[in-house]
Structure formats: C-alpha cells, structure tokens
Structure 1
Amino acid sequence: MSRVVVCGSLNMDIVVQSERRPSSGETLLGAEVTFLPGGKGLNQAVAAARLGVPTAMIGAVGNDAFGNRLRGFLADNDVDSSGVREVEGPATGVAVIQVAEGDNAITVASGANMHFTRDMVRHAPRPDEVWVAQFEVPIPESEAILEQARAAGARTVLNLAPYATHSDSLLQQVDVAVLNEVELSQASGMKIRSRSSQRTIAAACETLRARGARAVVATLGARGAVVVTSNGTTAIPAAPAQVIDTTGAGDCFVGALAARMAKGATPLEAARYAVVAATCSVERLGASPAMPTAEDVAGRLPKA
C-alpha cells in the first residue's frame, strides 16, 4: 500500500469553550479549557493514519513539554514521527481556539513551525506516495518539497490554508488544491460566500486550475464540497450532523482525501469519502482527537 507524507505544522491547541464569545473588552467567566494536539499538519497526518493508511509527518517543534507531547501523540496514532525535528530557541506552536455556539475562532502563535525547512525531508519521495502541504509553515519550503515530490512521480495535495500570498509557480506542483470559501475568495479574487452558487464557486476554482492546479476542491461546511477537474464540476452534499465542534473539519477532509488517493482513488472519489469523514469529525470535540476511524466513516457512507 502507498503512504501519505504530510509536511506541515504541529501545534498544541488550547481550546476554550463558552456559551458565547466575549465582546471586545469583556471578561467572560465560566469557560472550560482543554489542551489538545493540533496544527494543520498534525491533524491531517492523524486523519490519514486513523483511516488505515501508512502515514509519516515532517515538521518542527520546540524543546519543550508541548513538543514532547505532540510527538508522543503522533506515535500513539501510528504516525511515523521520525521526521519531526526539534529546533532550538522557538517554542512549539500554540493555537488558542475559542469555541462557542457550534463554531470557532482561532489565534495561532507559530513558533517552531516557522523554522520548518526542506532539509528536514530525509527520504526521497516515491511514485506511490501522496505528499501533503499547507500554509502554516514557510511557503517556499513547501513549494520546494512539492516540486521534488512531483518530479518523483508522487501525487501532491496542497491545502491553501490559512491563505497567504505565494509564487505563481506553486500551483504548478499541485495535483489537488483544497480550500474553503474564504480562502477561495482570497485566492481567486472573486467574492465567494457560503451561499454562493455552484456556478460561481466553480468559476473561482477554475482560476486556480488556470494557474496550474490539476484539480480544485472547495469545502463548504454544511453544504459539502465542490470538485472541479478537467472532466467538469461535481457538487458533493454533506450528510446531516450533530455539530459539536467544527475545529479541524477541514483538516480531516484533507487527510481523508489524501488517504483515499493513496489507495488509488481519483480526486472526485476521494472527495466523496472525505466529505463523510469530515461530517464524522464535527460531532466530537477537538481537532486531532476527533478524527474518525475507517469503521466510523464506513458506517456513514451512502449505501449503494
């Protein structure tokens, strides 16, 4: 079986739950706090591994307790963490997540993630692998890694999140680009909202295909996803869910997409599976701890 290699961020998520978000200048009592492993890279790696696909993580942590805990969490979830390097000086990345009314707001202190480099890749990519990157580590380093992976014949997935400016050549290294409606609006320069028509979303996705991405997937929360490939546009509806926490749902989608691609699925087939996986994830608290197993997803897949 092929494997998934995730290059990206590792954070300790400090999740604060409250009935509502405080207004500017307001102190709100009665909240609950939880410390959970996170970071887009770690989340996506755990999502792929829990779905039964061999997965490796490449990234950076600080010389501190959070870094040790994150590496231990990866190991506990059968993710190869030998590529996670400890860097001297900066602390392990931290994300403060405010959860209220079934939604979240996130502030990130990147720390060691900004010291991620292409030199941390110790093993050359293989043609049967799927390599995944995001925008929570230095983008030029991720571009160099994706270029190397593409040259080796591996398939590449880029999650353009959180959106940041990047070189014109980056998308030329990408087989599947994944982004939500906010990121799609930023990347395309078009006004995209959660209720934008499928035609408008597809047109925005086509702007990324014109820049080099071979397929583009727009994730739309409760609406599901829209997949745009050379064969056209397909809308994938989401199943109803009892939403507890949407943190990490997009990362679950990316990890599940990569896992299915590693098993030979097309981007469209993989996206159908990933929508179901993301639906499972929002019914639990946290990011990585909420990632579903293959059995969880199988129980929610549409019956043939």
Structure 2
Amino acid sequence: MSRVVVCGSLNMDVVVQSARRPATGETLLGATVSFLPGGKGLNQAVAAARLGAPTAMIGAVGNDAFGNGLRSFLASEDIDATGVREIDGPATGVALIQVAGKDNAITVASGANHRFTRRMIRHAPHRGEVWLAQFEISVAETEAILKRAKAAGARTVLNLAPYVAHSDRLMSHVDVAVLNEIELAQSTGTRLQARSSMRDLTAAAQKLRAKGAGTVIATLGARGAVVVTGEAAKVVPAYKASVVDTTGAGDCFVGALAARLLGGASPVEAARFAVAAASCSVEKLGAAPAMPMARDVAARLARA
C-alpha cells in the first residue's frame, strides 16, 4: 500500500501564551501553559494522516513520559509509529514556544532526535511511496535516507527547515524541496526580504533546481506560495484566515502537500491544497492538534 513516510523529529511542545514577550531579565506573570505534541516530523505526519493519506512516522524519542505520550498520540491519529525508536539516555525532544499575540518564538532542545540514524529504520522504501524529511535530525542521515528512498522509486520531499548547512549533492536526491523565503535566502546565498518580488524568489528557487531539486516550492505566509518547476513558476495565492496561532502552519503545508502528491496531484495542485490547509491550521492553538481534517480544507476551498 502506498503511503507517506515521515522521517523526522518528535517533540513535546511547551506552549506559553502571554500578552507580550518579556524583555531581557524581566519576569512576566499572567501567562498560560499547554503541553502539546509537536516536532516538525510529527506535525507533518499528523497533517498528512488527517487529510486521508496512509502515514508512517520514523524517528526517535527518549525513555520518558513525553516519549510515551507522543507515541500514544500518533496511535490515536492512526499513524503507524512502529518506526519510532525509544532511546535510553537523551530525553525526548522539547520545544519551548512563546506565543504573544499572533506571533511566536521557538527554542528547541532536540534530545533524542539527534541520536536518530538510518540504521534504526526497519522498513525499506518502496516505489509509489512519498518519503518526507526535514532538518531537525542529522543532515547526513537525512541525505542517506532520501538517497535510498529515491533509488527505490519513492517520491522524495525535503522541507529545508530549520535551515542547516548541507552539501549541494543533497538536492540531487530531492524531488520536491519546500522552504520559506528566509530559508530560501540562506540556502542560495540570495538577498531576499519579506516583500521580495516573485521574480527574485523564482530566480533563487532556480538556483536550488540547478543543484538537482526537481521542484522548488517557496512558502510565503500571507502571500501564499510560489511553485517553480522546469517549465514555469506558478504563484498560489493565500486564503483568508482568522489567525490564532501560526505555530505549525509550515508543517501543515508540507504534510498536506505530501498527502496530495501521494494521491497523484501535480506540485501546483498539491500546493494549492496545502495553502488552504495551512490557512485552516492557524485558526487553532498548537501545532499537531491544530492540523485540519479533509472536510475543513474542502470547505475552505469551496469558499474561495
């Protein structure tokens, strides 16, 4: 059976909400705290699964309460978590997320995520699958995993987030690269700003394609996304949303994109669906718990 296989991070998100962020040295009272499943890998797996794609998660957690909780959460989302390995020693990854108004700031303690290796993978990739990775586990392991998946005939998707320096050869193992404008600037050495023109964004994306990536998709927040292929660059506009928390919106986009690619959609069609899914996700608190269901995205598309 074809499926989305997500290789990546699993974290417990400690979300602290306050009216504003404290200044350096300041103690700010009156905040609220929530403990929510997260990590780019887990978020993307949940997004794909909720949108109807058979999904498996591969990664590492610590031998602790957070690790047990994350695996239980995956099971409750009907995600195959047999590939999530428990490691003695390092703690499960934790992300401290400060939410102030509509913005967030994130600090990650990667823990067990940095101990994950390709040798922990029990199941070989297969033709017809979509293998998805990010940069919250070792770049060297990510490259090896994507190389093996592509050689087996699987479609490979890499979310270059958070940006980490990597070899140019990595792109030769990537069918679809997804990144925001900041990561696009970092990965190509290009000067880009929040309001950079589509011409400049496209030119930067073509630099990644020149390194081997088949398709490059730049996510642009409220501006939507731009999809750059060998034939053309297509702008996908954003959808209006009542923003509560932007945490995980990028992960929702990537997971939704993978789910649509698995179903046979073109990159542009998949990106249009993913933009709509991401607009739904920002209307709820948290990352993984805020991922929309297929009916939510269908309703958003119908109103467009």
Which TM-score applies when normalising by structure 1? Answer: 0.99
- Provide the C-alpha distance between the structure 2 equivalents of 1:194 and 1:176, rounded to a whole number of angstroms: 23
- Aligned ranges 1:49-88 → 2 under 5 Å: 49-88=49-88
Match status 1:171 vs 2:195? no
Per-residue deviation, residues 114-161 of structure 1 (Å, max 9, x unmatched): 001001211111111000000000011111110111001110000000
Match status 1:201 vs 2:197? no
What value does the CA root-mean-square deviation take over the aligned residues?
Answer: 1.0
Partner of residue 9, structure 2: 9
Deviation at 1:302, TM superposition (A): 4.5
- Provide the C-alpha distance between the structure 1 equivalents of 2:271 and 2:121, rounded to a whole number of angstroms: 27
Amino acid at match of 1:55: T
- Provide the C-alpha distance between the structure 1 equivalents of 2:211 and 2:303, rounded to a whole number of angstroms: 37
Per-residue deviation, residues 159-202 of structure 1 (Å, max 9, x unmatched): 00000001121110000000011111101111112211111111
- Aligned ranges 1:177-196 → 2 under 5 Å: 177-196=177-196
- Aligned ranges 1:138-149 → 2 under 5 Å: 138-149=138-149
Aligned residues: 304
Partner of residue 112, structure 2: 112
Partner of residue 249, structure 1: 249
Match status 1:297 vs 2:297? yes
- Aligned ranges 1:23-102 → 2 under 5 Å: 23-102=23-102
Q: Secondary structure at the match of 2:163?
A: coil
- Provide the C-alpha distance between the structure 1 equivalents of 2:134 and 2:7, rounded to a whole number of angstroms: 8
Partner of residue 233, structure 1: 233
Partner of residue 218, structure 1: 218
Partner of residue 123, structure 1: 123
Where structure 1 has 5 or more consecutive residues not aligned to the other structure, the ranges are none
Contact 1:135 1:159 in 2 (8 A): yes
Q: Secondary structure at the match of 2:192?
A: coil
Per-residue deviation, residues 232-253 of structure 1 (Å, max 9, x unmatched): 1011111111000000000000
Amino acid at match of 1:292: P
Q: Secondary structure at the match of 1:149?
A: helix
Which TM-score applies when normalising by structure 2? Answer: 0.99
Partner of residue 158, structure 2: 158
- Provide the C-alpha distance between the structure 1 equivalents of 2:136 and 2:190, rounded to a whole number of angstroms: 23
- Provide the C-alpha distance between the structure 2 equivalents of 1:193 and 1:29, rounded to a whole number of angstroms: 35
Contact 1:2 1:263 in 2 (8 A): no
- Provide the C-alpha distance between the structure 2 equivalents of 1:97 and 1:175, rounded to a whole number of angstroms: 31
Higher alpha-carbon deviation: 93-102 or 188-197 = 188-197
Deviation at 1:303, TM superposition (A): 6.3
Q: Secondary structure at the match of 1:201?
A: helix
Partner of residue 18, structure 2: 18
Amino acid at match of 2:36: L
Per-residue deviation, residues 15-50 of structure 1 (Å, max 9, x unmatched): 000011111111111110000000000000000000
- Provide the C-alpha distance between the structure 1 equivalents of 2:178 and 2:66, rounded to a whole number of angstroms: 28
Where structure 2 has 5 or more consecutive residues not aligned to the other structure, the ranges are none
Deviation at 1:2, TM superposition (A): 2.2
**Percent identical across equivalent pairs?**
71
Contact 1:16 1:34 in 2 (8 A): yes
Amino acid at match of 2:271: A
Partner of residue 287, structure 2: 287
- Provide the C-alpha distance between the structure 2 equivalents of 1:6 and 1:260, rounded to a whole number of angstroms: 14
- Provide the C-alpha distance between the structure 2 equivalents of 1:23 and 1:216, rounded to a whole number of angstroms: 38
